[in-house]
Structure 1
Amino acid sequence: MTQPPNQPPHGGFGAPQDPPPQGGFGAPTPPPPQGPPQTPPPQGPPQPGYGYPQQPGQPGPYAQPGPYNAGPYGQPPQPGPYGQPGYGYPQQPQYPGAPGTPPPGSRNPFKNRTALVVGGAVAALLVIGGTVFAVAGGGDDKDDKPVAGKSDDPKPSVSGAPVNPGDGSGDGGEDPDNLNEGRKAGEAKVLWYKEAPDAPGSGAEAEGMWITDKTAVKAAYKQLFAYNVGDGRPTWDAITFPQKVCATTPQKTSDDKIVVAYMSGSSDRAKCNQLQQIDLNTGEKGWQGEVAEGGLFDSTLSLGLTITGDTLMVGRSQSGTAYDVKSGKKLWDKKKYGDACFPTAFAGGQKLVAVSSCGASTSNEHDEVQELDPRTGQARWTQKFDKGWRVARTYSVDPLVVYSTHQDKKAWNISTLGDDGKFRSQVEVDEDFAPECGWAILERNLQGCLGVAADDDTLYLPTEATASANEIVAISLDTGKEKWRVKSPADESMLPIKTEGGKLVAYVQPSYDAGGQIVSIATAGAGHQPTKLLQNPVGAADIENGFFSKAIDWVDGRFYISTTRLNGNDDAKEKLMLAYGK
């Protein structure tokens, strides 16, 4: 395999920011009750980065030694991962991972942070994963039929009165909140807002938000709600599932359909194995099915769902099954292959990507990334990562941008892979990046990051907030080098949302005395100053600021924000979703 030339090593900031766990590793984080503005809790456990204790003189992920040139801080030459001249400092991961040593006086990200928590969490994951893969062996060839068929009830069930539409006509009675009160000239308005449904006192998941040209659909606990994008009136009666929703497809099909998974029961032995296709515009239920268990330790306690074209990929803990998303017909299985490689996570969208754990508890333990043909399951290419490197996230699927970590070396890496699977570049920017990526410990959530965007040749990442807000950095996918950066126009963090029409659209978060903003930033040319598209009203700032765990989207000149976690607090009028526009 032809390796790309060694690049100047980047700094050690950049790990995705995870909310701090509550109640043990892997437990979901309840958001704070909505109400008066609060200072949000720290952004998650400390992440590998600049200032980590590095181990000089070790080979990179492909074990190809090569001399580093002495760096600007006088460090002695270090071996490079590709056998080509490199840089002595900062010694940070190269495709993923040449170690290094920070200069004297560099900031230690472990200082005043709970470093042992992160180390213990990741170590626990590796031990658990190693045990599972070592015991699992070959895996079964169990026939996994989705039992697809038209739902007995082709029309959505009615869950009672609609969620409060924000004007007192819903099931919540009079609502004293006037979120447009005191709206100033030039401010947008709250088009509509919705209160959250009842949830258990321990809280509940509310993952999933989809916007079509007609309807905004939101998942919450056991239900799907649909609202007209313009006025928020229910477009179809809420769908209530027998048990809680446990997985959803982040994507929708070209004809606006999604697939939702819900639990088989309410006991501790219940599985996340019930599938239901839904039409977002009409609420009509399509095919339904049940996902079969895999082999030993290959369970459906949780699922990962993703759509690529007309293929629905359902990921179990050590395998996956593909279905035709239109009919529910099973297409193929992705099972153990090669050197005891078990597929553990999938990412979809424009491409279908699989990440597998291989050779657990052996000297050849490593991760592999593959692009799969969505209709046949055949691997178009396979890229091996060196031992110790764990592929944790995909910041983008097309182009494919992969975030990986090395626990022992306390290092991270962001790499871009080309259409042939070969490494195209790595991020070399010495920065503390801070996309919001949730908390996943016993499973990988490859597409769970908020606040990162990419186009054909550029990756856009937010930096960590400081006393003077933060910046978005544009990074070349061809070289890994910084192209430009722009500071937030307010003293609050700015997060990329998407790219469209040659511009980057970003969300500036609200403060205690100002609503959030939607801005656009030209991606080409010399000027990259934010242009305001929408200024949210100050009357909604408290509510907007209360979405600690959130989903956001910008569609057709409207901004949508919703919670992804219900806190279950009966004493608070928790908001489910807001829509803003002019």
Structure 2
Amino acid sequence: MSTPPPPSQPPSGGFGAPQDPPPGGFGAPKPPAGPPSPPPGPPAAAPQPPAAQPAYGYPQADPGYGYPQQPPAPSPYGAPAPPAQPPAATGGGGGGDKRTQLTIVGAALLAIVLIVGGGLWYASGDGGGGTTAQSDPSASPDGDKNQASAPGTEKVPGNPKSKTLYNQPAPTVTDLVSVNGSWLTDTTYVKSDVSKVVGYNLVDGAKKWEVPLAGEICGATHHVSENKTAVIFRPAQPSAENKYPPCTEVGVIDLEAGKLAWSGNVKSANGGDKPVQFSEITISGKTVAAGGVSSGGAAWNLADGKNLWQPKVDGESCRDTGYAGGEALGVIRKCGQHPNYTLNAQILDPATGAPTASYKLSQGIEYAHIVSTKPFVVAADVGDNAKGGKGVSDLFVVDPKGELKARIALAAGNFAAKCASTDVEKCSHMVVGNGKIYVPSAEHQGQSATGRTNELLSFDLETGKQTTDRADAGERYTMYPLRMDGSNIIAYKIPPYDKGGQIVSIDGKTMKETLLMENPADKDIRRAETSFSPEFSSELRYHNGKLFMSKQNVSKPYSTDPEYLFVSFTAS
């Protein structure tokens, strides 16, 4: 296997220090967000690390995101004029790429805003990764915003200024290895490692327990039910004869007891001797479900691993490509052959696998994703109109009967929502709650020449229209939602080059921000923190004044700087 070259180093002068424009000018394409997950089988070529991201606070360029590349004239409220409203939800992406048009339209919209209310709102608009789209447990099945008003449980620390809790060094590997999966309970931080899952206490980060696995981890769910979660792993370690054993094993981890509750595999429902290969796994209530893009799916009882159901590939070549869990169990079912695929987004009875609601997506869509199962929100890149490699151009809100309730267009590139190319339950930078979906705007020019910023906005799930909600990240910060906390939104703010990151709670009614954590600005601590980010497919978990930031993949180190599997902070 060829050895990937080392990535380029951060610019001199510190992270985010003003630099000359990158090659190609400020319209040059932005580097990819991070390395892909290891394939279930041998890759065609050795995975290459992405080009180094510009440091935080550095004036990056996002071509086609609908923002002028030069600093806009500040509004009376100290914020740049909003960009244009995305086009109607027709699957087209038109209008998002011309600076001059957007500057004119943005100025016109600002004038309207000032006339009608004197308050600014945004007329336009992810994992990850690790940060994944999550629904609000307090929301009603159809997203009734009047019933989603449960208060949050996260308390404001007496002192939000945090300190490092514990930083776990990255394991030594010679190849790209998946360490997908992290969970935070009231007593334990649990993190996937190389061929094992490890629990750490929340007092000083010391190891509490370790669960060894037969092979490397291929995938994990972020859902937890009855203190249990689920992973996919390989049945053996890599060898000279078989460098990539297939991802066939499903295991359930008891997060409190620190043990493997059960593990197993299944043979194909259509016959054959080989175990089915899986790429995704999820949990809904007492059901564990795993799926693969080409291999189909299966479901097990969470408690004892009993196989509950396994769909067969039918005469129309229909198969379950992946599942999404949480309050309900969703699936994307693909029928037909390339290039004439038909996709159905369905809600299933977890006990039997029978559909209770089904929505047929437009012909020509090859992959779809499930953002939330209750309410049911589906994402897709319609007509390959998604901008900036985000993987999603439109959101579809489906009612319990399988009827389309609303369609939300994100094709103009003014939003930072992200979905993985093929995975069903791997969208990030979106959270659902209060009868809305909260999405950050794309990063854009701030008030200063080197300042970048963005905002958190929302759409009404009943109408599909953008609301007047707006929470500003602040000059030189960019903000991404992590999850709901009752009716509040928990968000992480990526810091500029001379600050530490922040965790804030945003009131779902007023959009007022409350600071829960601010990390140290010390150079070494900041460098460790900013090596993890929602933009880099890192996993971020915050609960009760503790923040853990971890990798989804580890690889051979290419610098002398310390590298970590995870870093953590605690506020007092």
For 1:537, the equivalent position in structure 2 comes to: 520
Gaps of 5+ in 1: 1-16, 52-88, 110-184
Contact 2:96/2:413 (CA < 8 Å) preserved in 1?
Answer: no
Pairing of 1:424-503 with structure 2 (within 5 A): 424-428=405-409, 432-437=414-419, 439-440=420-421, 444-468=422-446, 469-483=453-467, 484-503=469-488
The TM-score, its normalising length taken from structure 1, stands at 0.68
SS of the residue 1:192 aligns to: coil
Distance 1:307 1:402, change over 3 A: same
Distance 1:565 1:41, change over 3 A: farther
Which amino acid is 2:171 matched to?
P
Q: Hey, what's the Cα distance between the residues in 1 that align with 2:266 and 2:233?
A: 9
Quick check: 1:252 aligned with 2:202? Answer: no
Number of residue equivalences: 440
Q: Hey, what's the Cα distance between the residues in 2 that align with 1:330 and 1:299?
A: 14
Which amino acid is 2:395 matched to?
I
SS of the residue 2:393 aligns to: strand
Distance 1:104 1:324, change over 3 A: closer
Distance 1:241 1:253, change over 3 A: same
Which amino acid is 2:355 matched to?
A
For 2:348, the equivalent position in structure 1 comes to: 372
Match of 2:371 among 395, 410, 415: 395
For 2:206, the equivalent position in structure 1 comes to: 233
Q: Hey, what's the Cα distance between the residues in 2 that align with 1:208 and 1:563?
A: 9
For 2:172, the equivalent position in structure 1 comes to: 198
Distance 1:43 1:466, change over 3 A: closer
Distance 1:528 1:26, change over 3 A: farther
Q: Hey, what's the Cα distance between the residues in 2 that align with 1:199 and 1:104?
A: 42
Q: Hey, what's the Cα distance between the residues in 2 that align with 1:361 and 1:387?
A: 12
Q: Percent identity?
A: 26
Pairing of 1:38-53 with structure 2 (within 5 A): none
Q: Hey, what's the Cα distance between the residues in 2 that align with 1:508 and 1:41?
A: 17
Q: Hey, what's the Cα distance between the residues in 2 that align with 1:43 and 1:319?
A: 40
For 2:264, the equivalent position in structure 1 comes to: 289
Which amino acid is 1:321 matched to?
A
Pairing of 1:156-167 with structure 2 (within 5 A): none
Contact 1:30/1:565 (CA < 8 Å) preserved in 2?
Answer: no
Contact 2:539/2:551 (CA < 8 Å) preserved in 1?
Answer: yes
For 1:213, the equivalent position in structure 2 comes to: 186
Distance 1:218 1:448, change over 3 A: same
Shift of 1:362: 7.3
Quick check: 1:577 aligned with 2:551? Answer: no
Shift of 1:552: 0.6
Shift of 1:18: 6.2
Match of 1:271 among 229, 233, 246: 246
Quick check: 1:343 aligned with 2:315? Answer: no
Contact 2:57/2:477 (CA < 8 Å) preserved in 1?
Answer: no
Quick check: 1:413 aligned with 2:394? Answer: yes
Q: Hey, what's the Cα distance between the residues in 1 that align with 2:372 and 2:406?
A: 14
- Deviations 1:279-332 (CA, angstroms, capped at 9, x unpaired): 112222222213324659997444311111111112132421111111111111
Q: Hey, what's the Cα distance between the residues in 1 that align with 2:266 and 2:162?
A: 45
Once structures 1 and 2 are overlaid, which stretch shifts more, 354-363 or 406-415? 406-415
Q: Hey, what's the Cα distance between the residues in 1 that align with 2:368 and 2:378?
A: 8
- Alignment RMSD: 3.6
Higher relative contact order (CA 8 A, sep 6+): 2
For 2:553, the equivalent position in structure 1 comes to: 565
- Deviations 1:169-192 (CA, angstroms, capped at 9, x unpaired): xxxxxxxxxxxxxxxx86211222
Contact 2:217/2:231 (CA < 8 Å) preserved in 1?
Answer: no
Shift of 1:221: 2.4
Q: Hey, what's the Cα distance between the residues in 1 that align with 2:488 and 2:44?
A: 39
Contact 2:168/2:564 (CA < 8 Å) preserved in 1?
Answer: yes
Q: Hey, what's the Cα distance between the residues in 2 that align with 1:249 and 1:529?
A: 31
- Deviations 1:553-574 (CA, angstroms, capped at 9, x unpaired): 2212322211112132174421
Which amino acid is 1:373 matched to?
D
Shift of 1:21: 6.1
Q: Hey, what's the Cα distance between the residues in 1 that align with 2:312 and 2:61?
A: 36
Q: Hey, what's the Cα distance between the residues in 1 that align with 2:262 and 2:96?
A: 59
SS of the residue 1:199 aligns to: coil
Contact 1:32/1:546 (CA < 8 Å) preserved in 2?
Answer: no
Contact 1:521/1:529 (CA < 8 Å) preserved in 2?
Answer: yes
SS of the residue 2:444 aligns to: coil
For 2:291, the equivalent position in structure 1 comes to: 315
Pairing of 1:112-191 with structure 2 (within 5 A): 187-191=161-165
Contact 1:371/1:381 (CA < 8 Å) preserved in 2?
Answer: yes
Contact 2:431/2:437 (CA < 8 Å) preserved in 1?
Answer: yes
Which amino acid is 2:208 matched to?
T
For 1:102, the equivalent position in structure 2 comes to: 95
Question: Which has the greater radius of gyration?
Answer: 1
Once structures 1 and 2 are overlaid, which stretch shifts more, 531-540 or 17-26? 17-26
